Structure 1
Amino acid sequence: MTFEWLARSSVCRDHYRSGGVEKRDESRPAGLIPVVSYARTSEDIRQRDGHGVRHQLLINERTAHEHGCRVVEAYSDNGLSASRAGIVRPEFNRLVADLVRGHTDSGQQIEGVVCVADDRLYRRAEDLAQFFEALTCRPGRVYVDAEGVRDPYSQDGLMQAVRSLNAAITETRIRSRRLTDWHWARAVEGVPHSGPRPFGWREDRITLHPDEAQLVEQAITDRIEGKAIRAIARDWCDLGATGTRGGRPNAQTVTQILTAPRVCGYRANRGELLLMPETRQPVLGQWEPIVAPDQWQAVCGTFSPGSLYLHRGSGAPRLTGKRKPAPSRLATGFLRCGAERPDGTMCCGAMCAQKGRSKRSPYVYACRSCGRCAISGPLADETLEHLLFPETPEHTRLPESVRQRWQSGEMSLEEKRGVIASVLTHCIVRPGMKGSRVWDYSRLEPVRR
């Protein structure tokens, strides 16, 4: 950060070129300079009473009085960081807007700002430029802190602001590094994660919760044996299980519980499985494990790379390097739901294979978006074959040799799916008649390439 960069602001540059503070508005009555006060704290976790910003505003009142100013308006952002991008500070934005228009909501004229320290106002270059442009958009204003009255238009005033910014950035990096090292050291010692207690353990995060731990252990066994994660989540809901924050289990949260390294006693840090520097062996936590490491690795391997269920914050790699399992049904990925939404549009959600409830339809394809459309699996697969190889050969786009290999059983499922993809982009599945026992082949509408 340099003064030349900051001087790109046209207003700041014009004031700098003019040679310093312009003459103050002589129409203002003689006396104390009207200034606005700003306060900010990054956290207010322990007491949650705003005592930090309240104390800063009191200090600002004293500082203003000591330097011939009076506070006409106060702005405070409690528990908001100024060093992270994307954090909205409503009162800082209101302060900047009032500086630009030159008066407060009550009509009080603004001729300066008082603050306990520069880093309360800005810790990022964007905020520094925004604040100084608003402050110096009118002539004769001042900036007041514990060191006294500063001239924001002069080179020295701008350079002091830049130095304060650089110091704040350096301090932020040092604190971040210290915090990272502190978390790493705790993790290497096997200390449990902070925050809400993990599902399956008591409040001490060491001792197993008997009921929850049993649910996790059984769910891992069921998942390894092929049970759908959504079915496991439904079972938990039927049993009345709730998360440690009181929420109902869903597929994603159940997956996060089952694939967390803590279930087998491993410790993770910053999204990676933590390994001892000397032995490269996983760090063991101080808590009681629910399952053995090989069971944890097995359940992680049941989820394919990029699975939405695995999206989470911290944790460890939950994949064992196994290949993504190929679809086990012919029409998987080619069917789209044709049910009508309340707004009149078509759902078009992907339909996935699920276990059926009858011998005639041992599996079905159901919409996972709206849940209002399903079709017999054998019916859909048979209809797809009929669309590829109609009774009139002149309507087919495939060679006769492909038909012979398909119908003779020589073609693998993967090859058959490749043939479908070469002819169709997908098929729309229209909702069927509830209770009908007649297979309606017209329910599938092909969308050809």
Structure 2
Amino acid sequence: MALVVELGAVVTGCEADDPRELIPVLSYARTSEDDRQRDGHGVRFQLRINERTAQGHGCAVVAAHSDNGRSASKEGVVRPGFERLITDLVRGRTDGGQRIAGVVCVADDRLYRRAEDLTRFLAALTSSPGRIHLDQEGVRDPYSQEGLVQAVRSLNAAVTETRVRSRRLTNWHWARAVEGVPHSGPRPFGWLEDRISLHPEEAELVARAIGERVSGKAVRAIARNWCELGVTGTRGGRPNGQTVTQIITAPRVCGYRANRGALLLDPGTGAPVLGRWEPIATPEDWQAVCATFSPGSLFMHRGSGAPRRTGTPRPAPRHLGTGFLRCGAQSPDGTVCRGAMCAQKGRSKQSPYVYSCRDCGRCSMSGPLADMALENLLLADGRSHGRLLEDTRQHWQSGDMSLEEKRKIVASAVVHCLVHPGVKADHSWDFSRIKPVWR
């Protein structure tokens, strides 16, 4: 127990004036959601608490990492702050060369909620001797049996809490649904903010679109008409064929209530549960418009919480920039388009594919050059150096990394990249056209 004695001696001397006598620790904070204020106040508050905890136990925070709005319980979620924490612990120092002797966090469930993350954290923390794990309860010895048992106990509590919370949320949504209460979240297109009263202009558009689709009109043509009228979705996006399909095939247009991809039926009569909102169309009109689409494209197949029913998985993206590039063209009123830029077949050997804006069509660029620029931003930009492990960087540059792995790395580093239009008749390549928005 020499470690405990040594740490106790340091902690009791926390009032020393020389900061070099304090234990240098990393601070970590995480929140699962930040949907309302979106200002990172949750992680900011946690980092302040970590500072106070460190000072109270003879420690000094030498670097802080955080993940705002990132779940630690869902599989596949990348946490850049956690990855940088692991990197610093393994190499034993911060980017500035400061030695690391431990980690401070508000609670264990901020660090890990999955066994894989606990294993990685403990392996990195104990990769050098004499380190500590600090929280509001005090100093913990991660090398001792007691410290390991406490970590596993915290993991079990976090897993149990996650399951109970998920079950409670599922039951809550189901109970609301069987009573015909409208969906929570952003208001549905066609209704006012109360989600019950019809929106005069939008409801008329939906009713007209249902009739036009039943009469044989292409859904893309309907979407183009909406764009020409200046219609935007409830989240500000421009309508396209898929969004129009989801709107006019949603059961809510005829008053039916659905939950997780299935119509809710009354246990007594077997009839569909009716919502409390005003319908736009009749059940017969809804069934007629749904019959004009192939399986897999309807709201009941692709809506929120609905499982895929086509039996065929969505094809994987074939290019690095797919899903990450946004149009930076400006409209006459000065607003930026920000529409998704999709890969399309090119007309030359140098550019076998190009990225083009599917909304305004006023911005496009060579696909291979855009992917090269995105790769250079990630590997060469100074801000991104701390985001990748060195072995990950070398693996990427070796040419052996798959496209799927590269796209996961890009997703962990950038929110999206804004692409500014090029100059007409200027065929030179300007890498500054791509402006990344870093996470």
Q: TM-score normalised to the size of structure 2?
A: 0.64
Shift of 1:64: 2.2
Instruction: Tell me if 1:343 matches 2:348.
Output: yes
1:98 paired residue number: 88
Instruction: Tell me if 1:161 matches 2:166.
Output: no
Shift in alpha-carbon separation, 1:282–1:153, aligned structure 2, 3 A? same
Distance in 1, Cα, partners of 2:29 & 2:71: 12
1:409 paired residue number: none
Distance in 1, Cα, partners of 2:2 & 2:42: 35
Measured on the aligned residues, the alpha-carbon RMSD in Å equals 3.3
Aligned-pair identity in percent equals 73
- In structure 2, stretches of 5+ residues that fail to align are 8-18, 310-343, 353-439
Shift in alpha-carbon separation, 1:167–1:65, aligned structure 2, 3 A? same
What letter is aligned with 2:347? P
Shift in alpha-carbon separation, 1:141–1:162, aligned structure 2, 3 A? same
What is the aligned counterpart of 2:241 among 226, 251, 255? 251
Shift in alpha-carbon separation, 1:79–1:129, aligned structure 2, 3 A? same
Tell me which moved more, 173-182 or 224-233: 224-233
Shift of 1:20: 9.1
What is the aligned counterpart of 1:120 among 86, 89, 110? 110
Shift of 1:229: 2.1
2:126 paired residue number: 136
Shift of 1:174: 0.6
2:25 paired residue number: 35
Secondary structure of the residue aligned to 1:149 is strand
Secondary structure of the residue aligned to 1:166 is helix
- In structure 1, stretches of 5+ residues that fail to align are 1-18, 320-338, 348-449
Does the CA-based 8 Å contact 2:51-2:61 persist in structure 1? yes
Shift in alpha-carbon separation, 1:145–1:222, aligned structure 2, 3 A? same
Pair member with larger Rg: 1
Distance in 1, Cα, partners of 2:49 & 2:345: 63
2:62 paired residue number: 72
Shift in alpha-carbon separation, 1:318–1:24, aligned structure 2, 3 A? closer
Shift in alpha-carbon separation, 1:343–1:184, aligned structure 2, 3 A? same
Any idea what the Cα deviations from partners look like across 1:413-442, whole Å, max 9, x if unmatched? xxxxxxxxxxxxxxxxxxxxxxxxxxxxxx
Does the CA-based 8 Å contact 2:257-2:274 persist in structure 1? yes
Tell me which moved more, 138-147 or 50-59: 50-59
Secondary structure of the residue aligned to 2:284 is helix
Shift in alpha-carbon separation, 1:71–1:274, aligned structure 2, 3 A? same
What is the aligned counterpart of 1:210 among 191, 196, 200? 200
What letter is aligned with 2:106? V
Does the CA-based 8 Å contact 2:254-2:281 persist in structure 1? yes
Aligned residue runs from structure 1 range 173-212, under 5 A: 173-212=163-202
Tell me which moved more, 281-290 or 31-40: 31-40
Shift of 1:307: 4.2
Aligned residue runs from structure 1 range 429-444, under 5 A: none
2:15 paired residue number: none
Does the CA-based 8 Å contact 1:301-1:318 persist in structure 2? no
Distance in 2, Cα, partners of 1:121 & 1:232: 48
Secondary structure of the residue aligned to 2:233 is coil
Does the CA-based 8 Å contact 2:246-2:303 persist in structure 1? no
Secondary structure of the residue aligned to 1:175 is helix
Instruction: Tell me if 1:287 matches 2:277.
Output: yes
Shift in alpha-carbon separation, 1:229–1:78, aligned structure 2, 3 A? closer
What is the aligned counterpart of 1:242 among 229, 232, 237? 232
Does the CA-based 8 Å contact 1:184-1:269 persist in structure 2? yes
Secondary structure of the residue aligned to 2:113 is coil
What is the aligned counterpart of 2:51 among 61, 64, 85? 61
Tell me which moved more, 126-135 or 270-279: 270-279
Distance in 1, Cα, partners of 2:100 & 2:262: 52
Q: TM-score normalised to the size of structure 1?
A: 0.62
What is the aligned counterpart of 2:219 among 207, 212, 229? 229
Tell me which moved more, 168-177 or 44-53: 44-53
What letter is aligned with 2:167? R
Shift of 1:234: 3.0
Shift of 1:315: 7.5
Shift of 1:24: 7.5
How many residues in Structure 1 have an aligned counterpart in Structure 2? 310
1:408 paired residue number: none
Shift in alpha-carbon separation, 1:197–1:124, aligned structure 2, 3 A? same
Aligned residue runs from structure 1 range 287-326, under 5 A: 287-307=277-297, 312-314=302-304
